[in-house]
Structure 1
Amino acid sequence: MTPILELESARLVLRQWHDDDLREFASLCADPQVMRYFPAPLTRVEAAALIGRVRGHFNEYGYGLWALERKDSGAFIGMTGLLNVNFDAPFAPAVEIGWRLARRHWGLGFASEAAWTCLRCAFAQLHLSEVVSFTSAQNLPSQKVMQAIGMTHDPQGAFEHPRVAPGHPLRPHVLYRIDRARWQNNLRG
């Protein structure tokens, strides 16, 4: 599949990663507030490795986590996109939607706007039948974004994330879902 290199929303460009994104991306991944619902912040090397994996996902599947850029300033603000779930879970195989934004860009609706743009890509361009999202049960801000973009909480889908250590408070995860029909209804409504 030819990679989908760029998407646009009213205020954002979702684009391929540039080498000079690493400085800002590493900074946001090192921010303890941004990473509070992950087991640990990332080092610069770990952030660079993540960008490498994202680029590989694009090459293999044609979609992935796009770098987010504000149209008004050209500022890099984080990432949002679609990934194949790559661990064993009852709901897999599946495509997940996820996001991570720098703290100074929180509360402005960018996460929901970018995620909505990714859902449009998932259903209108990629013709997926369903998209999932999951996060630590403690991560209420991300759950609010999931709800804002029309996803439905699936209480039966709650799971212990296999990549988080047993007993860690972030291991319990919640699952949200949206299918193409619900997304189309949201467009009409």
Structure 2
Amino acid sequence: MQSYEFTSERLGFRTWKTSDFPKLLEMNTHQEVMRYFPTIQTAIQCREFIERMKTHYLQHGYCYFAVEELATEEFIGFIGLSLQTYDIDFNPSTDIGWRLLPNYWGKGYATEGAKACLNYGFKELNLKEIVSVAPTVNLPSLAVMKKIGMVKVKDFKHPLLTAYPELETCSLFAIQA
């Protein structure tokens, strides 16, 4: 039986394990999963991500959590919260984000998981506001933001995406406790 930080109806949220690496690599090298990101990720980047999330969790009590389907205990991707500090007028901020393996798309998992993370952020961590950012072309993620009750604040040029004109214009959504 897996130990989770918290659960939703169908999902379990936990910190990262080294054994998550193969599935994370599969997800982060999948062209369709990564279509709204500058590049697919390397094995080194995936290992660094896991270590970064472990450290982030220890420092802040949250991260982009590894997520499992409760019925199967299969890793399906990540959904969670991350402190953002890149240079823009709304940072520092706590971002909510998600990325799922394609087999788990279209099942409402991103929405269900994001709602559970909002609840965790507001009720357990006492956060006052949570934001989400995605390229304006990423309609699936923008739809999830709306489904979980977030409101669009503005569109902006993402300072970390200036080399990728098709992704540079992003939407900022926010929700308050």
1:140 partner amino acid: L
TM superposition score normalised by structure 2: 0.95
Deviation at 1:111, TM superposition (A): 0.5
Q: In the TM superposition, what whole-angstrom CA distance separates every residue of 1:99-146 from its partner, at most 9, and x where no partner exists?
A: 000011000000011100000011111111110001001000000000
3-state SS of paired residue (1:170): helix
Q: Which has the higher strand share?
A: 2
Partner of 2:17: 18
1:173 equivalent to 2:170? Answer: yes
How many residue pairs match? The answer is 174
Deviation at 1:167, TM superposition (A): 5.4
3-state SS of paired residue (2:166): coil
Partner of 1:79: 78
3-state SS of paired residue (2:67): strand
2:22 partner amino acid: R
Partner of 2:96: 97
Partner of 1:161: 158
Partner of 2:48: 49
2:20 partner amino acid: D
CA distance in 1: counterparts of 2:94 and 2:136, whole angstroms:
20
Partner of 2:39: 40
Deviation at 1:168, TM superposition (A): 2.1
CA distance in 1: counterparts of 2:139 and 2:89, whole angstroms:
23
Is residue 84–residue 95 contact of structure 2 (8 Å, CA) maintained in 1?
Answer: yes
CA distance in 2: counterparts of 1:95 and 1:28, whole angstroms:
23
Is residue 29–residue 42 contact of structure 2 (8 Å, CA) maintained in 1?
Answer: yes
Deviation at 1:90, TM superposition (A): 1.1
C-alpha change, 1:167 and 1:96, in structure 2 (3 Å) is: closer
RMSD: 1.1
1:145 equivalent to 2:149? Answer: no
* Runs of 4+ with deviation above 3 angstroms: none
TM superposition score normalised by structure 1: 0.89
Give structure 1 stretches of 5+ with no counterpart. 181-189
Give structure 2 stretches of 5+ with no counterpart. none
Q: Which moved more, 1:101-110 or 1:86-95?
A: 86-95
Deviation at 1:46, TM superposition (A): 0.9
1:146 partner amino acid: M
